[in-house]
Every structure is written in C-alpha cells, then in structure tokens.
Structure 1
Amino acid sequence: MNAAIAQYDRILGCLLGGAIGDALGYQVEFDRWDAIKDRFGPDGVTEMRRNKISDDTQMTLFTVEGLLLAPPGGSVDVVVEQVRLAYLRWLETQEALMPPMASEGLAAQPWLYERRAPGRACITGLQEGARPGVNPNSKGCGTVMRSAPFGLYFGPDEAFAFAERCSALTHGHPTAGASAGAFAMIVAHLMLGATPQRAVSETLLHLRGGIDRSETADALQQAYELAGKVPPGPNTCAPLGEGWIAEEALAIAVYCLLGTDDVRKGLTAAVSHSGDSDSTGAILGNLYGAAYGHAALPKEWASQVEGREVVVALAKLMAAEA
C-alpha cells in the first residue's frame, strides 16, 4: 500500500496523465505499427510532437463536470442525470463551431469545439437522447476512456456501479458497461493506495461475480498473464487486440500498468501499436496518475499537453469535493 501520496496529487495525476496518454496516442491513431515505426522509429512514440488531445479527454472532462454539478449526497438517478446532461453539452461542442452566447463551464471553452475523431456510438447514442438501451450491440471503448472520474469521486463498488450505468447512456452492450466499471474500480482502489497488482486483482474478483462481465474478466486475466511474461514495449500488446472495443482497450492499459512502473516506457508501449492508440494511452495515463501521482508524469509532456490549465482547475475542484 502507498497511501502517502496526497489525494489531490493522485486526482491531478489521473486527469493529466490521461490527457498525456491521449495526446501521445492521438498522433498515431488509426496508424498501423509499421507506419508508426517509419515515423517515430523502432522505439515507438517517444515524443509528443503534437500536444492535441482527442475526444477521450474531452469526454473525461465533461464526466468530471457532471459529477461536480451533482448535489452532494444526491441519489443515483440524480448523479446519472447530471452526467447525461454533461455528455449532451459535449455533443453540442461536436456540432457547433464556437460556444453559444452565455455558455458556462466547459461549454464556454472554444478549444473544446474542435472535433477530434469522436466515436460513432458516443455521437449516435447522445443524439438519441442518451437513454439506457441505446446502441445495444455496441461495446466500443468510448465508455472506458471517459470513466476514470468515477473512480476519483467514489469508492470502488460505487465507482463500478456508476461507470457501468453511465456507460449505457451511449453503449448498450453489457461488456461496455463491465469494462467501464472495472476501469473506474481499479482507479478507485489506486486512489486508496492499493498497488496496481492489488487493484487489478480485487477488480477481477468483482468481475467474476457476474456472467455478463466474463468478457472483461477474461481480457484482464490475459493482460495479467502477459505482463508476467513479456515486458511492455512497442507493439508487445498485440496479443490483447487493438483496443477498439472496451475490454481490449482496458486490457492493453492494464498490461502496461502491471508490466512496468516506468511511466514513460509504459505510455510509449500503450500507444505504439496498430489500433486505438489514443484510448489505450489515455486509459493507462489515468491509471498511472492515480497510482503514482502527478510527480511521476514526465514533466515535458505534462507541461505542454493541451488543456492543462482546465485540467488543473477541475482537479482542484474535485479534490475539494472529495
């Protein structure tokens, strides 16, 4: 256990780490490994040549805003509704060019109105009102990459439940919900000072209690086993998939988390593969930040990533509420 890291440092590390991993991976999203190797070299993505974040960090920040706007002690339905409304505000940023007059909060930030390859299910689910049951066959990783804030705000069991329920606002497949819930639960355990190994093990036990969660549990088990055999490096995550679907994206990030405590090496491995590099990088960045705090993040990446000031401001608000 490592509870000595201040709560604010973990919150800031989680949100900023996610933005860093997102920006690193967004440079090569949709690129195959051979193309990445040609551009960046055999060591993979070791540089932040562009600091732009993607829809992953955008939606994560709106998740934070939704949680902050929910009244303290509010019912589950009230909290979920605030998150739903926050996601609908994010949708407006994807459909407008600039903030409307009298916009407040994140909706007043012009830089968030740039469309950064949002997932189809996120867009269509929100366009249909973001109600449970939408996109019943979709288990894209768009639910996982936005769910770290539930683990910052709630204890492990509640974090799982809230993330799982809010996943259904855009993705109706049970595995999407289970993967989002598992991610939030791991973050919550890390926030309490658990080691990465303990956080993942406790979450695996929780997943094994439900038949609808078996795909996520199996993917995490594969990640656990791979981390014990193959140190994370460029394209070593290939046996786990490409990360386009929820359980694969989570598994790739967990493999890197368990495989190395070297944040720079882990993030490089998480984005240097053929697949959804920004999402796998963002998820791992969230995990590293929650585990090791803001100070563990590479300073040159943390200082230049897009939206840093907004991330810092939201982290302070979350720390005050927690």
Structure 2
Amino acid sequence: MAAPPPPERYEAALLLAAAGDALGFRGGLWEYCTAGAQIHAELRALGGLNRIELRPPEWRLSDDTVLHLATAEGLCSGLEGDALLQELARHYVAAMEDMEGRKPGPSSILGTSQLRPGEPHGYPRPEELPTLIQVSIESGRMTHHHPTGYLGALAVALFGALAVRGEPPEVWGAELLRVLPHAWEYVEGVGVAVGDNAAAWDFFGDSWRRYAESRGLLEGCGPPRVPALPTPEERDAEYARWALQGWAGRSGHDAPMVALEALLAAGDSWEELCARAVLHGGDSDSTGTIAAGCWGLRWGLSAVPPSMHRALEYRPRLCRAARRLHELAWGR
C-alpha cells in the first residue's frame, strides 16, 4: 500500500479545484468567453496571476464547486451503499438552493429536480456501491444521466485516486481505458436504461482512445507526445477539435481530457497549468476545477500564490471536508 499523503494534499486538492473554478469562471465573464487570447489579455491588464486575489464577489465560485463541495460533504458522512447515495442526493438538492449567479447547466438542473432523497428509488438506483466505479457513476447519474456525462465523473474520480497513489498523469489515460469495460459491466448489471446507455456508450471510449493514441499514451508508459501549443489561439484550436459543438470542456469526455493535457504539459508549474487548463476559450471553470484539483494532490500549495486560495468563498468548508475525507481514507 502506498504511504498516505499528508492531509495538506487533500486540502490543496479541494482549495485549488475551487481556485481553478473561480478563476476560470470570473462571474461568467471568462467561462463564456470564446477566445483564450482575450482572456490572457484581460489577465495581463489585471497584473497577472500574482496580482489577483480570488475573493468574492468578483471571483465567486460557480456551480462546479458548489456541487463538488456537495459531493465531498456527502462522502464525509462515512456512509456506504444506499445510505450514501441518499446522502449525496440530499446534498445535491440542497446545493441547488445556492445557485444564484453561479450559472448551473440545464443537465444539472434537470437531474437534481428529479431526485427524491429519503424516498425509495429517490435517486437512479439503490444498490450496494462499494467501489470507485459504482459511486462515481451513480453520483454522476444524479445530475447527468448519460454515459458521456457520468463517465466524465468516473474519469475525474479515477484521476484523483491515481494522483493520491502517486501515479503520474502519463498512465491515467490508459488506466481509464482499462476501467471502462468494468464500468459497462456495472451499468449493465444495474439494469437502468441499458439500451439507451449502450447506444451512447462507445463515444466516450472512442474519444479517449484517439486522444491517448495521439499522445503516445495507449500503453501508459514513455514520455507523452504533447504538442507545445505556446499560444492561446493554438490551444483553443486543439481543444476545439476534441469538443462537442466546438465548446471545449463542456462535455464529460473532453473536460477531463483538457485537464489531463494541461497536467502533462505543465508539470509542477502552477502558472502553466492555469494558462492551459483555466484560461482558454471554452468551459474554463470546469476544466480548471478538474486540473487544479489533481495538480493540488500532486504538488500541494507551496508553489501557488496565497492570493489564489486564502480568501476563497467557502474556504473553511473546503478545508473541513478535505480533512474529514483524509481521515476516512487513511484513518488518521
């Protein structure tokens, strides 16, 4: 078993995920900006990353962190199986009362409106869910009941688990492809809308197989072939090739893809990670949340300007949840 990471790494993961969200969102100004070059120009006018204090009201959190925090606090209950899913459903429903000005997506609104926590079948399917595959899929289905959506939740959960184990990002794509058949076995076994799920299933895996092959990562070894893409325009063009309807990071397949690409290219550079995963012309708060959270698990807070996290909205809740999750995971 790998040595447990310090609890500070869990705090870094939740705090930096929120920082990536707040930065990429900027009250909707940057999330809905289609030109990365414009975002970078506005960042320069603000004095650069080191001059920004991520503090509300200008730098509020979006729906991404509100739901991420709802997931974390649901998991903090320490419950399992049906009780855990009922708890997650309760937190998601409550979180939707905190969406004023945070721009929740229509899928999230529709999905949570159909949850009935406390009732039998108050979420998609009551089963024992002891594994990462099961919990990530079922929690994902509460807001995005489509394979491309909830497999994105599986990818992010898997990437986080691999980061905790100390596995480098070079292996994450291959590991995701290895896990997908097991995910289908679970979905088929649960028996919820199997035909509809089967019809839409292949898109996610095919997209990830093409990406992994293009980066030399199908075998999960060797240095990745990540193109330099030094300008915002080049990154926007590359990300748009993976996207649905040209909106990079909007879908469950390419949001973790943009995040992984940034992690591969940025190494231990927080500034480069932000340039690639947060400050681009797409769904930048979503990709920023994923990439920055995984980066925090790997590198911690020491290389990040304190202004990126010391005044974040909901900072105490994020830190409490991180400490509790570390305690539940490692028993200390």
Task: Check whether the contact 1:289–1:297 (CA below 8 A) recurs between aligned residues.
Answer: no
Any gaps of 5 or more consecutive residues in structure 1? 95-113, 135-153
Task: Check whether the contact 1:186–1:199 (CA below 8 A) recurs between aligned residues.
Answer: yes
> Secondary structure, in 3 states, of the residue corresponding to 2:254?
helix
Show CA shifts across 1:261-318 (max 9, x none).
Answer: 1222112211222211111111101111122233344433122332222211221122
Task: Check whether the contact 1:51–1:304 (CA below 8 A) recurs between aligned residues.
Answer: no
Partner of 1:176: 149
Q: CA deviation at 1:25?
A: 0.2
| Structure 2 residue identity aligned to 1:56 | D
Task: Check whether the contact 2:136–2:154 (CA below 8 A) recurs between aligned residues.
Answer: yes
Counterparts of residues 182-261 of structure 1 (less than 5 Å): 182-207=155-180, 210=184, 213-224=201-212, 225-226=214-215, 228-231=225-228, 233=230, 234-235=232-233, 236=235, 237-241=239-243, 242-261=248-267
> Secondary structure, in 3 states, of the residue corresponding to 1:229?
coil
Task: Check whether the contact 1:13–1:295 (CA below 8 A) recurs between aligned residues.
Answer: no
Which region of structure 1 is more displaced relative to structure 2, 312-321 or 31-40? 31-40
Partner of 2:24: 25
Runs of 4 or more, structure 1, over 6 Å off, are: none
Partner of 2:319: 312
Task: Check whether the contact 2:115–2:123 (CA below 8 A) recurs between aligned residues.
Answer: no
| Structure 2 residue identity aligned to 1:89 | A
For the pair 1:77 / 2:79, whether they are aligned, the reply is no
Counterparts of residues 23-102 of structure 1 (less than 5 Å): 23-27=22-26, 28-33=30-35, 34-41=37-44, 46=49, 48=52, 50-71=58-79, 74=80, 76-94=81-99
In 1, Cα distance between equivalents of 2:168 and 2:42: 35
TM-score, normalization by structure 2: 0.74
In 1, Cα distance between equivalents of 2:276 and 2:206: 21
Counterparts of residues 281-292 of structure 1 (less than 5 Å): 281-292=288-299
In 2, Cα distance between equivalents of 1:123 and 1:45: 34
In 1, Cα distance between equivalents of 2:152 and 2:163: 17
For the pair 1:321 / 2:304, whether they are aligned, the reply is no
Partner of 1:295: 302
| Structure 2 residue identity aligned to 1:220 | W
Q: CA deviation at 1:41?
A: 4.9
In 2, Cα distance between equivalents of 1:45 and 1:275: 20
Which region of structure 1 is more displaced relative to structure 2, 278-287 or 308-317? 308-317
> Secondary structure, in 3 states, of the residue corresponding to 2:228?
coil
Show CA shifts across 1:69-126 (max 9, x none).
Answer: 243xx3x2221111111101112333xxxxxxxxxxxxxxxxxxx4311111111221
Question: Residues 14 and 216 of structure 1: is their aligned pair in 2 closer, same or farther, counting only changes over 3 Å?
Answer: farther
| Structure 1 residue identity aligned to 2:202 | S
Partner of 2:283: 276
Question: Residues 317 and 229 of structure 1: is their aligned pair in 2 closer, same or farther, counting only changes over 3 Å?
Answer: closer
Any gaps of 5 or more consecutive residues in structure 2? 117-121, 185-197, 216-223
| Structure 2 residue identity aligned to 1:87 | Y
Task: Check whether the contact 1:132–1:172 (CA below 8 A) recurs between aligned residues.
Answer: no
In 1, Cα distance between equivalents of 2:69 and 2:92: 10
Q: Report sequence identity in percent.
A: 27
Question: Residues 4 and 267 of structure 1: is their aligned pair in 2 closer, same or farther, counting only changes over 3 Å?
Answer: farther
Question: Residues 121 and 316 of structure 1: is their aligned pair in 2 closer, same or farther, counting only changes over 3 Å?
Answer: same
TM-score, normalization by structure 1: 0.76
In 2, Cα distance between equivalents of 1:12 and 1:251: 23
Q: CA deviation at 1:208?
A: 5.3
Q: CA deviation at 1:58?
A: 0.9
What is the total number of aligned residue pairs between the two structures?
277
Show CA shifts across 1:16-41 (max 9, x none).
Answer: 11011101101211012153244235
Task: Check whether the contact 1:8–1:316 (CA below 8 A) recurs between aligned residues.
Answer: yes
> Secondary structure, in 3 states, of the residue corresponding to 1:69?
coil
In 1, Cα distance between equivalents of 2:175 and 2:71: 24
Task: Check whether the contact 1:232–1:255 (CA below 8 A) recurs between aligned residues.
Answer: no
Question: Residues 213 and 181 of structure 1: is their aligned pair in 2 closer, same or farther, counting only changes over 3 Å?
Answer: farther
> Secondary structure, in 3 states, of the residue corresponding to 2:72?
helix
Question: Residues 231 and 46 of structure 1: is their aligned pair in 2 closer, same or farther, counting only changes over 3 Å?
Answer: farther
Question: Residues 321 and 122 of structure 1: is their aligned pair in 2 closer, same or farther, counting only changes over 3 Å?
Answer: same
